[in-house]
Structure 1
Amino acid sequence: MKRCLVLIATAVLITGCGGGGGGGGSTAPQQSGSAAKVTLEWWHLSTTEPLKSLWAQRAKEFEAKNPNVTIKATVLENDAYKAKLTTITQSGKAPDLFATWGGGVLKQQVDAGLVKDISSDVADVLPNFTPAALSAYQIDGKTYGLPTDIGLVGFWYNKKLFAKAGITQPPATWSAFLEDVKKLKAAGVTPIALAGKEKWPGHYYWAYLAMRIAGLDALKQAAVDHDFTKPDFVAAGQQVKALADLQPFQKGFLGAGYGTPDGQAATVANGKAAMELMGQWAPSVQKDAGKGLGDDLGFFPFPAVEGGKGSISDAFGGGGGLAVGADAPAEAVQFVKFMTEMDNHSKAVAAGGVLPVLKGEENAVKDPNLKQVATALAAAGGYQLYLDQAYPPAVGQQVNDSVAELIAGTKTPEEVGKAITEVAKSEG
């Protein structure tokens, strides 16, 4: 997912500090011709432009500065990436460099001794990053990766299709959102595209509704007491069911992928659905998978839920980062620092591939929709990492599976809470 996706990603924001950024000049040391040959295995999931080409270019530049280093990239789509990384880490190994969303998944890898503590190696550049961007990769006071992206999930919509349905402005409340879904259907427009086959896009709805109804503190408490059966979590499920009962998704959504030619992103990009709930990478994936909407593409944050404990300013999402395998050579850490230098990283920001993670980088954002995302992040009162990354892997997978069953009508809101709780308690 892409998440990151496409990510490439995964978390938030932007403050000012000028000049310089990642340490000034290349942090990758010049190597003499007699230096030992090193091959770095780099796994990432930037399968779409502009990052696909930008990351390949960064690798070539690093190799030019360090003639003894060869970077071998393995680039996989989101689900394939997660599956392959899980397989290799379960065998007790990790790539030299690999994309991570941080959170509970990274912590499990750290606990297994698979990830290098790079705290001392990157101490000189840590002040260059925004605290929110760094937070997902810092565990118990130590740093296990550097961020390459940050952002939030929201609704990407087709302005022309909204106008066709008589919707003059994006909904600010959940009840208004449900009414707009009905208006779109009445106008003969498929309201929402969803990649039901991949499950993780569906969990965004339950997670956001839990945030809006129960509040951020409740999600953090659930990570401690492993209890997702509380009334507010059930209420979140009931609202997901209320949406699903309107049959808002495209035909065949249960078997649809995300970035495929007939998947979620393409359905929106080709004008066959009015909106999708997705992260900041959505515009680039839409362009890659379909025609793209150009000026007709708009963005609005997930609506507030009337009477809920959460604030509409609370953001849900993540970013992407680079972690280093425990047995990786020193050059791997140097490459991570090279990738996140101001001059290098800001090119990816300017191209619309990622959002700022470095202080003073916000001016590089050119796309008006991404500027809106960056502004929302800047005003965020709280931040929640994707639940399938914030919680241990088995718990996150159960969230995805249970919400998918809820949307498909094979599990009740109460059963969703019970299923997640059972796995959380067994893992806890």
Structure 2
Amino acid sequence: MKKNLISRLAAAVLSATMVLGLAACGSKDEPGAETPGSETGGEVTLNVWHQWSNDTNELKKLYDQAVADYIKDNPNVKIETQTLDTEAYKTKISAEFAGDAKGIDVFYYWGAGTARKLVNADKLLPIDEYLTDDVKSRILEGSTTAFEYDGKLYSVPSFSWFMTLFANKKMFEDAGAKLPETYEDLVDAVEKLQKLDGVTPIAAGAKDGWNAAFIYQALALREVGADNINKMLTGEVPFEDAGYTEAANKLVELYDMGAFGKNPLESGNDDANAAFGNERAAMRIMGSWMANGIYTDTTATIDPANVVALNMPMVSGKGNATDYAGGFVESFWVNKNTANKEEAAKFAIYINERMGVAAYETGTGFSGWTTEADESNLNPLFIQIKEILGKSKAGVLAWDTSLDSEPATIHNEMVQTLFAPNADVDAFIEEHKAAINK
């Protein structure tokens, strides 16, 4: 089965938020065909930044291969790449763009509210003029919402993600626990999994704020619902639904039970992935990109056959099982101050398409392009996620990419306070109201 069939499915399912583009050289059916832009003749160096810093990350490998192919087809272009892990990367990018970011031509970033501050500060290059009709025809319908500002398109989609509960079914069997479909199932599983020697029920990675926020957002999704959360994130309604408090209370309940281990704030994203991969944790709430890592991480000891991909557990009597967290928001953007606007835009479009198609083919993410892709090597976990996605309807982006920069930062930092003794849920709610309800 070819990717164009899946694209139509994804368009219906993921119409909430997405984006991507195209580019480069090759035949019309290949990623990057009929790249916009003219020959510059002279040698050009593009400084490209991204946040896939770990050599075990499959996305880093896919990026490196795409760059090698681009340089081969464009011998006048030299690509210099800089990487940092996610939290350090966010800090560094903000610092660079507080000035003119002269050392950056193209960079990986998040759309919607995250990029809005850069657009408002006139730091980003609109790329409309660099998109041919052929390029536009290959962008998945509905995938550019998070990249459009004031009628201009600043980037194109790469791939989308889907928030997934990964579970080690062998550990569940050993503990006599049921794979969780409801919050009550989750609580019961936590209690039973704690009896296994040396096992943390849920690897949180809460030292990184976005990891902590993922867990809260999963609970809030079930308490409040995608429609209401999206209205809150876009400012249509205030942050006041009682479900936000209930979600915080549930997270505190899980912490107090020991669901995240003794000191979840001491371990970050990579630590949590390693804990799950080396069977020191039974569950991990993470984006669908983790599915591929479970099969390709050579440092992990887990048997991939023991891992299952699950939807977020429901809260009895609340929410819709078809609501999900995820969508198209990650992409490569162009610094408006680049000295090589055309070549930078050309490469940004190319790398977004290449990463979108490659991510899909390797079971890392869902492509924002209708470009045909080989599905023969999709791993079983990714297929499970795709099946869940096929039943999903209303999506919510990660809050720190939908909200403006200041409330997004406050959200991540305040969620971390729930992963500590004597958490103050009232203070958590009031800080959110002050930051979001302006």
Q: TM-score, normalised by structure 2?
A: 0.85
What's the % identity of the aligned pairs?
A: 25
The correspondence for 2:420, drawn from 387, 408, 413, is 408
Distance 1:141 1:234, change over 3 A: same
The correspondence for 2:267, drawn from 251, 256, 264, is 256
- Per-residue CA deviations over 1:164-198 (Å, capped at 9, x if unaligned) read 11235x22111111111112123444211111211
Matched residue SS, 1:307 = coil
The correspondence for 1:228, drawn from 221, 226, 239, is 239
Counterpart Cα distance in 1 of 2:114 and 2:32: 32
1:20-419 to 2 correspondence within 5 Å?
A: 25-27=33-35, 31=39, 35-47=41-53, 48-93=56-101, 95-124=104-133, 125-168=135-178, 170-188=179-197, 189-223=199-233, 224=235, 227-259=238-270, 263-285=271-293, 287=297, 290-308=300-318, 310-319=319-328, 320-328=330-338, 329-341=341-353, 345-359=356-370, 361=372, 364=375, 366-419=378-431
1:69 is displaced (CA, Å) by 1.4
Comparing 403-412 with 351-360, greater Cα deviation is found at: 351-360
> Residue 15 in 1 paired to residue 23 in 2?
no
Counterpart Cα distance in 2 of 1:361 and 1:300: 27
Matched residue SS, 1:133 = coil
Distance 1:27 1:409, change over 3 A: same
1:294 is displaced (CA, Å) by 2.0
1:226 is displaced (CA, Å) by 7.1
Counterpart Cα distance in 1 of 2:216 and 2:9: 34
Matched residue SS, 2:268 = coil
* Cα RMSD for the two superposed structures: 2.6
1:307 is displaced (CA, Å) by 2.1
Matched residue SS, 1:191 = strand
Check conservation: 2:37, 2:342, Cα contact below 8 A: no
- Per-residue CA deviations over 1:31-57 (Å, capped at 9, x if unaligned) read 47xx12221111111234322222122
Counterpart Cα distance in 1 of 2:246 and 2:353: 44
Distance 1:288 1:135, change over 3 A: farther
Comparing 380-389 with 137-146, greater Cα deviation is found at: 137-146
Matched residue SS, 1:192 = strand
1:110 is displaced (CA, Å) by 0.8
Q: Counterpart in 1 of 2:17?
A: none
- Per-residue CA deviations over 1:203-225 (Å, capped at 9, x if unaligned) read 11221222211122322332316
- Per-residue CA deviations over 1:281-327 (Å, capped at 9, x if unaligned) read 2244552663343211211010111122x312111124521111113
Counterpart Cα distance in 1 of 2:253 and 2:281: 19
Check conservation: 2:48, 2:82, Cα contact below 8 A: yes
Matched residue SS, 2:61 = helix
Q: TM-score, normalised by structure 1?
A: 0.86
Gaps of 5+ in 1: 1-12
Check conservation: 1:30, 1:65, Cα contact below 8 A: no
1:22 is displaced (CA, Å) by 7.0
Matched residue SS, 2:320 = coil
Count of residues in correspondence between the two structures = 405
Comparing 67-76 with 383-392, greater Cα deviation is found at: 67-76
Check conservation: 2:252, 2:418, Cα contact below 8 A: yes
Matched residue SS, 1:274 = strand
1:21 is displaced (CA, Å) by 6.0
Matched residue SS, 1:150 = strand
Check conservation: 2:209, 2:413, Cα contact below 8 A: yes
Matched residue SS, 1:116 = coil
Distance 1:353 1:381, change over 3 A: closer
Check conservation: 1:41, 1:73, Cα contact below 8 A: yes
Counterpart Cα distance in 2 of 1:154 and 1:132: 22
Matched residue SS, 2:70 = helix
Check conservation: 1:151, 1:373, Cα contact below 8 A: no
Counterpart Cα distance in 1 of 2:130 and 2:387: 32
Counterpart Cα distance in 2 of 1:266 and 1:24: 35
Check conservation: 1:28, 1:66, Cα contact below 8 A: no
- Per-residue CA deviations over 1:104-150 (Å, capped at 9, x if unaligned) read 01111111111111123225223322235332222333221122221
Counterpart Cα distance in 1 of 2:136 and 2:126: 14
